[in-house]
Amino acid sequence: MLTAVAYTANITSKGNLATTMEKPQRHVYYPIYLDLKNRKAVIIGGGEKTVKKVLSLIETQSDIVVIAKNVVPALRALSDKKQITIINRDYKNGDLKDAFIVIVMDTSDPSINHAVNEEATERNVVCNVEDITNLCTFITPAIVRRGDVTVAISTSGTSPALARKFREVLSGTSPVINTHSIMEFADLTEILSDTRKELINRKIKLNLDHYQACITDELIELVHVGKNDQAREVLMNNLLKGASCNCVPDFCQMLSEMS
């Protein structure tokens, strides 16, 4: 969502231009790039998702510590190469001592999620608990990188699927050709956020590729003529098809047919 900030300009008694900013109507995130070189980065969780996160952090030359009772072989291999440090146990209070940043990749234990957030708050450590925005002090954008050019895409945590859509279109890797421009898809943030919250409340997990198949030109056309409720209904119906389909993991027949 694009957020406009209103400014009021006036001339002071000394003839200088002064500006005051009206109070923004909603909270927005401040985009920033962090220098993590030689800073301690703690990752909670040892699964496949952690591998991708660790590989991106290795590029920053941070000091990476992975805390998990069980870790996948790829992480063990990185530890053997002295690229990361692994602590083979669950998180406990005190693990964030001297940390600059912490990321919780394994969010299966709510008590750990909250405990990490509390310690991070006490120690002023920037914290991300994946997909649990209210426990985060930062969120990670979708990234498109080519050489020294990096494009970061964020939906302010409302729709990771839409951020992925932007990333794939901008990087030229999207399997779908749309008739609408990529920026027009930003108009779908409200209905994408609403349906995502409903699925979370109903404890329905979908193939991530299925989300991509459901972000369509039809939704934009409905929203642009003010038929948001109809667009939301179409989106939810299509998303729910992914809850009962017979697709194998990491494959979506619906998306394949659109390619």
Q: What is the pLDDT along the chain (259 residues), one digit of tens a residue?
A: 434 444 344 444 455 545 555 766 778 888 899 999 999 999 999 999 999 999 999 999 999 999 999 999 999 999 999 999 999 999 999 999 999 999 999 999 999 999 999 999 999 999 999 989 899 999 998 888 888 899 999 998 889 999 999 999 999 999 888 999 999 999 999 999 999 999 999 999 888 889 999 999 999 999 999 999 999 999 999 999 988 887 877 788 888 887 7
- The tokens for 78 are 């990185």
Q: Are 58 and 85 in contact (CB under 8 A)?
A: no
- The tokens for 53 are 């996160």
Instruction: Say what the pLDDT of residue 178 is.
Output: 92
Q: Are 133 and 160 in contact (CB under 8 A)?
A: no
State how far the Cα of 161 lies from the Cα of 23, in Å rounded to an integer.
Answer: 30
State how far the Cα of 113 lies from the Cα of 93, in Å rounded to an integer.
Answer: 12
According to DSSP, residue 151 is labeled: E
| Chain position carrying tokens 């749309």 | 178
Strands 126-129 and 142-146: unpaired
Q: Can you say how many angstroms the Cα of residue 53 is from the centroid of all Cα atoms in its chain?
A: 12
- The tokens for 153 are 């895409």
Instruction: Say what the pLDDT of residue 26 is.
Output: 75
Q: Are 107 and 116 in contact (CB under 8 A)?
A: no
Q: Are 60 and 43 in contact (CB under 8 A)?
A: no
Instruction: Say what the pLDDT of residue 19 is.
Output: 53
Q: How many CA atoms lie within 13 A of 132 on its CB side?
A: 19
Residue 33 CB partners (closer than 8 Å, separation 6+): 150, 152
**What's the sign of the alpha-carbon dihedral 32, 33, 39, 42?**
positive
Residue span(s) of the chain under CATH 3.40.50.720 come to 40-135
Instruction: Say what the pLDDT of residue 171 is.
Output: 92
- The tokens for 218 are 């039809």
* pTM: predicted TM-score of the whole model, two decimal places: 0.75
Burial of 122 (0-12, 13-18, 19+ CB in 10 A): exposed
Topology adopted by domain 40-135:
Rossmann fold (3.40.50)
